[in-house]
Amino acid sequence: MIVPDFRSPKTGLYNNLARLNLPHPEAVFEIDFFRDNPRPFYVLAKELYPGNFHPTISHAFVALLARRKLLRMLFTQNIDCLERTAGVPGDLIVEAHGSFATQRCIDCKQPFPDAEMRKCVESASPAVCTNKGCGGLVKPDIVFFGEQLPSTFFDNATVPQEADLVIVVGTSLLVHPFASLPRLAREGVPRLLFNMERVGDFGTRADDVICLGACDDGIRKLADELGWRDELESMWVGLVGEQEAARQRSKERQEQVEDELDELVQGMQQKLELSEDHDGHESNTITNAGLQEKKESETSTTIPGPPPTQSTDGAPVAVEEVLPARQVKGDIEAHKGDENTAHAMPNISQADSRAKEEKLDKANVTTSTPVRNAGGKYLVGGDDQAPGSSS
């Protein structure tokens, strides 16, 4: 199966979850809805759980940076643990929105055993805390609506200021405070974007490099420029195997993404219906009054600012006004400990959507800028369309 992202118009899970009997697609990732009805999340978790998927060559590239002692830090909004699977050391990863790597009770916060959690996920049965007298629900340590970001994000949020090159791979740059990280790069430090469209303030600095298209294709071009292509391909194929590598290279992957997403959603619907029939539960529609109204009133960011500016074709080209790094840093610190009302789940990778045609003044990966800084420390970040799709 291919790992989808969450925000793509046709292949994203939000779009496909809209077909399920939920108050709204994002409800499956809201902590209040989870408390009232955890089963939809567990059905989805079974499909997305680590071990079901393989890293892409983009994941392998980050691991190669780490192997060459060039990676300062990887910031990711992905929750699928594929960076770890690819070989990126855990101490070089900031999982801004958590991951499936660990889990705990949502009430008493007691950690829950990995093996027991896997059993619960595989059976799509909500795990219950074993702490005497608690009995609270257990969920993976991924950030839901209404929960705080992990302290590791805020502890490392100024790391981009130390980088000699900032690489951003596959992101909408819509979810704050994560979206502010690229703007913390010092003036004169190159920022390289691999994405389906231009996002954030990319293109406003002379040293920005923009490569539009599938992330895996752009990463291969960068590896060519660095003279690392053979090493990267060998490392990746050794990780996923020849058959999986061939499947990921297939030109028919977009159709495969859509077919498998359709199968995933149909399977979820069937499992939810079977669960309801078996347990005698009522429908998975609104189960706590006012949830829809609450959702509509929530802000989409954790840092105050104007709404995203839309281009004529509907693609977001700016999230908010461009702020100096000092103010961005202050905004991040000011929101430390705030509840995260911007969703933490649009972050499982997929980079196979066709790139939108857009004329840019500065958009070419063939520049020598990345090569020029090959001896420095790189910082890589990505989220909802990042590094590629997997199986």
Which residues fall in the annotated binding site for Zn(2+)?
105, 108, 129, 134
Tokens of 125: 């049965």
Q: At what angle do helices 57-67 and 229-240 cross, to 10 degrees?
A: 110
Phi and psi dihedrals of 274, rounded to 5? Answer: -65, -40
Q: Please tell me the distance from the alpha carbon of residue 228 to that of residue 162, in angstroms, as a whole number.
A: 24
Tokens of 53: 């998927």
Query: Could you confirm whether 97 is annotated as catalytic?
Result: yes
Tokens of 151: 């302290």
Q: Containing H/E element for 294?
A: helix 291-297
Tokens of 155: 């502890």
Q: Please tell me the distance from the alpha carbon of residue 7 to that of residue 28, in angstroms, as a whole number.
A: 15
Long-range contacts of 305-312 (CB under 8 A, 24+ apart): 305/176, 308/174, 311/358
Give me the sign of the Cα torsion angle 292, 298, 299, 302. Answer: negative
Binding residues, by number, are: 105, 108, 129, 134
Choose, from 59, 97, 335, 343, the residue flagged as catalytic. 97
Burial track 290-304 (b if 16+ CB lie within 10 A, e otherwise) = ebeebbeeeeebbbe
Neighbours of 234 (CB within 10 A): 11
Query: Cα–Cα distances in Å, from 357 out to 2, 58, 110, 315?
Result: 25, 23, 49, 11
Give catalytic residue positions: 97
